[in-house]
């Protein structure tokens, strides 16, 4: 999770992210956080606008084999707009198919 401590949505989502990590962490699936408030230079590397009005934080990234496979919130095809809205644990589990990835089921294997 990419976050900034000054971002209210990040503060609100942090407990949910911790719960996702506890529920789904295993050898096949690992969770981590990166404080863009502390390392703002990395925001550009991940294509994150640090402006509070941009609504890009928190940003969840899914990597497979060292390559970004998905992110939440999602960006438009042209990369210029980020989907807005609030999401919860079930939304994240569904978007990234965490149950399947953690168990290595056929559905999760499709996403490799």
CATH code assigned at 63: 3.40.30.10
Instruction: Kindly report, residue by residue over 37-90, the tens digit of the pLDDT.
Output: 999 999 999 988 888 777 889 999 999 999 999 999 876 666 666 666 668 899
Instruction: Kindly report, residue by residue over 3-25, the tens digit of the pLDDT.
Output: 999 999 999 999 999 999 999 99
Query: Residue 14: which of 45, 55, 57, 47 has the closest Cα?
Result: 57
> What's the predicted TM-score (pTM) here?
0.82
96 φ/ψ angles, rounded to the nearest 5 degrees: -95, -5
- pLDDT at residue 50 in the model: 87
Task: Write the CB contacts of 23 (distance below 8 Å, at least 6 apart in sequence).
Answer: 98
The mean pLDDT value of the chain amounts to 85
The CA dihedral of 27, 63, 20, 77, to the nearest 10 degrees, is -160
Q: How many domains does the chain have?
A: 1
What domain range includes position 50?
2-109
């Amino acid at each position: 999770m990419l976050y900034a401590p000054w971002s209210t949505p990040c503060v609100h989502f942090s407990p949910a992210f911790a719960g996702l990590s506890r529920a789904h962490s295993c050898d096949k699936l690992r969770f981590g956080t990166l404080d863009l408030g502390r390392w703002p230079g990395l925001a550009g590397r991940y294509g994150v606008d640090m402006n509070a009005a941009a609504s890009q934080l928190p940003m969840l990234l899914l990597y497979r084999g060292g390559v970004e496979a998905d992110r939440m919130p999602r960006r438009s095809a042209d990369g210029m707009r980020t989907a807005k809205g609030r999401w919860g644990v079930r939304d994240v589990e569904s978007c990234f198919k965490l149950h399947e990835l953690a168990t290595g089921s056929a559905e999760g294997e499709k996403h490799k």
